Structure 1
Amino acid sequence: MTKTIAIIGSGFSSLAASCYLAKQGNKVTIYEKNSTIGGRARQFKKDGFTFDMGPSWYWMPDVFERFFQDFGKKSADYYELIKLNPAYRVYFGINDFISIYDNLEDIKTAFEEIEKGSGKKLETFINQAKSNYDIAIKDLVYRPGVSPLELITKETALKLNQFFGNVSADIRKKFKNEKLIQILEFPVLFLGAKPSKTPSFYNFMNYADFGLGTWHPKTGMFDVIRGLEKLALELGVAIKTNSPIQKIHVEDKTAAGIVINNEIIKADIVLSGADYHHTESLLNNEHRVYSEKYWESRTFAPSSLLFFVGFNKKIENISHHALFFDTDFNQHAIDIYDNPKWPDEPLFYANFPSKTDKTAAPEGMESGFFLIPLAPGIEDNNTLRENYFEKIITRFEQLTQQKIRNNIIFKESFCKNDFVADYNAYKGNAYGMANTLLQTAFLRPKLKSKKVRNLYFTGQLTVPGPGVPPALISGKLAAELIQKSFRS
């Protein structure tokens, strides 16, 4: 029987869920508070420059293909992919960087040049990571987090010890060089927690990195959003922007619609891809499952200070993606997770999409995106933002041996306060809730409300977790739970 479904938000998980729900034959409408779709994956344009505002790493291409295959399509029907080589560079000092290439053999060679014997160790480590990837990404993450029994399979039983060890300890048993250790610890940062707090099993992220490579949609990650939008529209989904939700309308402990501009819009099902904490604030207290104390006790992934910068010349000695690990990796992690504060000497990430996509900047110019991970919930003001831009641009000039400060045409910043204002993000988090052992699978906030019938959730604060591929999977899981409820 056809149901009317209202979806809150238009990020990856909401768009994915809308496609599955429309395919089931439902009448689906997405309501987005902002003027454009995409959520954190929106696009920013200024003076001929184009920037992805959020996700910029295209990893796990198989997850995207599996999504489109569910609709008899492939990603190439909607956007073109370019494999980056090098995938990225990691800078440790002046004339001191390591390039991560687009194949494992070249990466092994780069490792071997730094630490004798590490090439063979890396191959063994990545083979184990692939084994974990095959279990996790091809199976476990497609389970809805309803029961702990979902994690008990013949394969996971053989790897039980990996749920109690941690990624950092495992890497340090195999490798001694601190640079190689930091490169191998880097991928799990996408999961939102310190490597020392991330279960060993999650080393599958290293296979996603070294095994599957880093890709770039031809004109940026927003190509993927456009692709999902096109598919959704083909399936009959309606999308309404400039539609902030005031309240979720509940009748007899059942979600019966949403309120926009003081008007009740009736729906049989309400699915929220917006921030989970914010979504529950749209309910009366008696209908909320998770208390403020609960949210306060969770480990959240970082917030971020972002800069979108237009340069009037080409930038040299840099790759499309670049990580700047020339300061203390562990101290920055402490400043995010253990003693939340603005880091004295932050690590940072830089992305120059115009190195790959000539449409990202006017001819002869460069678009630059800079990111500093920060603790969620800390103070945010323009003075701090400016101070930190000066810190990273000074180091950038030193490490890449060039002057670029006087070539800046414009610079726009985005930080904690903006994450709250634009996305209703709890404490201004950028990536959701970290995937620690006690925040994995069935231990995350549920896809289905326990107190309000016909109310569902999707996205980075629920199952399976942070990141773009998990967001697509989250949309599928929520849609499957909704479909199951129709039959019960």
Structure 2
Amino acid sequence: MTRRVAVIGGGITGLAAAALLADRGDDVTVYEALDDVGGRAGSWERDGFRFDTGPSWYLMPEVFDHFFALLGTTAAAELDLVRLEPAYRVYGEGETEPFDVVSGRESAVAAFDAREPGAGATLERYLDSAAEIYDLAVSRFLYDPYVSWKGLAHPDVLRRLPALAPLLTRSLASHVDARFDDRLLRQILGYPAVFLGSSPYVAPSLYHLMSHLDLDDGVLYPQGGFTQVIAAVERLARSRGARVHTGTKVARIITVGDRTTGIELAGGEIVSADVVISTADMHHTETELLPPEARTRSNAWWDKRVSSPGALLLLLGVEGELPQLSHHTLLFTEKWEEGFDAIFGAGARIAPEIPDPASLYICRPSATDPSVAPPGHENLFVLVPMPAAPELGHGGVDGDGDPRIETAADAVIEQIAQWTGIPDLASRIRVRRTISPADFETDFGAFRGGALGLAHTLGQSAMFRPGNRSKLENLYYAGHSVLPGVGLPMCLISAELVVKLLDGDTGTGRLPVPPER
């Protein structure tokens, strides 16, 4: 029987869910409030510069491979992927030369050993553990909808409990610091917590598995930018018969008793549906789209949640070349722990401030992709983790954002100029846009203006993270604020988890690839 499925949100999760369900024969329609699909993985263009406005690291390639295989295609057929060498560059505060992080076990070990004698052998053991835990996560944790505890009783999990227990009870920072002495190497291994919307001083050391991705596997980039990933998923959804409506805001989810019967659009149109899947921020879905009695989580529950950090984003079109920067470049401050405390500590919600100087990330896609900037120019995307504090104001174009945001952006540009040896950077900027937590709140309904949904603390990971089923019979949640977590690969898995639940599949495995494919 064909089901009518209404999907709220046209980010990668909503498009992926639409593609998978339409491929099975369901009648699927996606409703995206913004004028373009992609959500946080959006795009902005001006004067020949094209900027990705969200994700910029292509990690966990096997997750993308599996998703494409479910639809009878491959990542190679849908995307033009190139491997980055080096994987990324790091500037440490007070250091005269950058440190290039290279991928591949042998190269990474040699680079670590050259900086800290003996660190290479330690990294070998560290990456062995990271690879083992990563494989366990993919096979037993990430594709588990956690509707029961059966998956945790699997022999593979029970056999590793002695190793898993300490990884759950100590922080990533303490795990790293016990093994490495060099400050910069510690920071390189701790920074992946930021990709999880967390701090290395809060994220459990289980997440040292992230180092398997950049140091063992390597870092890829889809030519044309991450909008090409979104375009590929949208193309597959439409080719299977899904309809995608942009500029179409959902006003509410219609509930009758313990079930939903569809949605109401902002213009008043009622859309009947057998299944509703909301890929919007879960907090927005529950507090804005549902009546109080239909919500799965209470306001008191949300008050205790830990948001991911906010982000100050700078989109900069720069005249001339910038060889000082790699495709990915990170700047790390000496006051590392204090910086994270300013973002995640108790004071961050009482009197939030944007760190200065900040540990920050720069993406220069024009180092790899000539399509993102005019010839002889560079495209920079800068991300500064900051408190999730919409009250600090909105960003804007050409410096017309709120004063605190633009002043902070000026300081960031000056910091990059000084630390990386580009003294005339500010004078060479031809295009400038800033984006702040207030913009995330306005554009995406982001919980507290956070950039990545709920942080991956121990109490907000795996079975402790909000699940994909609402208490309403036929309403489902998917995306970065629910299982399994944040990032494009996790969002693809989240879409697959909803499909599994609709199938009645509560196991820990992936959906099987159809034999004919």
TM-score over 0.5 (shorter chain): yes
**What is the aligned residue count?**
485
Which residue is 1:35 aligned to? 35
Which residue is 1:484 aligned to? 504
Contact 1:94 1:401 in 2 (8 A): no
Q: What CA deviation, in whole Å up to 9, does each residue of 1:185-223 have, x standing for no partner? A: 111221122212222222111101111111100111111
Which residue is 2:512 aligned to? none
Residue 231 and residue 24 in structure 1: after superposition, are their counterparts in 2 closer, same or farther (change >3 A)?
A: same
Contact 1:31 1:244 in 2 (8 A): yes
Q: Secondary structure at the match of 1:150?
A: helix
- Given candidates 405, 408, 414, the residue that maps to 2:426 is 405
User: How far has the Cα of 1:94 moved from its partner?
Assistant: 4.9
| Alignment-mate amino acid for residue 407 of structure 2 | N
Which residue is 2:286 aligned to? 280
Q: What CA deviation, in whole Å up to 9, does each residue of 1:342-380 have, x standing for no partner? A: 124221111111110001000001111111111113522
Contact 2:174 2:201 in 1 (8 A): yes
Contact 1:95 1:400 in 2 (8 A): no
Contact 1:312 1:409 in 2 (8 A): yes
User: How far has the Cα of 1:181 moved from its partner?
Assistant: 0.5
Which residue is 1:70 aligned to? 70
| Alignment-mate amino acid for residue 77 of structure 1 | A
The reply to whether residue 308 of structure 1 matches residue 312 of structure 2 is no
Which residue is 1:373 aligned to? 385
- Given candidates 403, 407, 411, the residue that maps to 1:391 is 411
Equivalent-residue separation in structure 2 for 1:177 and 1:149 (angstroms): 42
Which residue is 2:125 aligned to? 124
Which residue is 2:103 aligned to? 102
Q: Secondary structure at the match of 1:41?
A: coil
Which residue is 2:513 aligned to? none
Q: What CA deviation, in whole Å up to 9, does each residue of 1:253-308 have, x standing for no partner? A: 21111111111111111000001011112111111111222112111111101011
Equivalent-residue separation in structure 2 for 1:376 and 1:149 (angstroms): 36
Unaligned 5+ residue runs, structure 2? Answer: 394-401, 506-517
Contact 2:409 2:434 in 1 (8 A): no
- Given candidates 313, 329, 332, the residue that maps to 1:325 is 332
User: How far has the Cα of 1:151 moved from its partner?
Assistant: 2.6
| Alignment-mate amino acid for residue 378 of structure 2 | E
After TM superposition, the structure 1 = structure 2 runs for residues 87-236 of structure 1, keeping only pairs within 5 Å, are 87-92=87-92, 93-157=94-158, 158=160, 159-161=163-165, 162-236=167-241
Q: What CA deviation, in whole Å up to 9, does each residue of 1:151-206 have, x standing for no partner? A: 33323222332222322221111111111101111112211222122222221111
Which residue is 1:351 aligned to? 363
Which residue is 2:459 aligned to? 438
Equivalent-residue separation in structure 2 for 1:480 and 1:27 (angstroms): 17
Q: Secondary structure at the match of 1:247?
A: strand
Q: Secondary structure at the match of 1:175?
A: coil
Equivalent-residue separation in structure 2 for 1:218 and 1:9 (angstroms): 25
What percentage of aligned pairs have identical amino acids? 35
Structure 1 segments of 4 or more deviating over 3 A?
Answer: none
Instruction: Give RMSD over aligned pairs.
Output: 1.5
Equivalent-residue separation in structure 2 for 1:12 and 1:34 (angstroms): 14
- Given candidates 282, 298, 318, the residue that maps to 2:305 is 298
TM norm structure 2: 0.91
Residue 111 and residue 160 in structure 1: after superposition, are their counterparts in 2 closer, same or farther (change >3 A)?
A: closer
Q: What CA deviation, in whole Å up to 9, does each residue of 1:54-105 have, x standing for no partner? A: 0011111111101111122101121110100011111014533210113222
Contact 1:327 1:346 in 2 (8 A): no
Which residue is 2:441 aligned to? 420
Which residue is 2:484 aligned to? 464
Equivalent-residue separation in structure 1 for 2:150 and 2:303 (angstroms): 27
Equivalent-residue separation in structure 1 for 2:431 and 2:368 (angstroms): 21
User: How far has the Cα of 1:472 moved from its partner?
Assistant: 0.4
Greater displacement, 18-27 / 469-478: 18-27
The reply to whether residue 51 of structure 1 matches residue 51 of structure 2 is yes
Q: Secondary structure at the match of 2:201?
A: helix
Q: Secondary structure at the match of 2:284?
A: helix
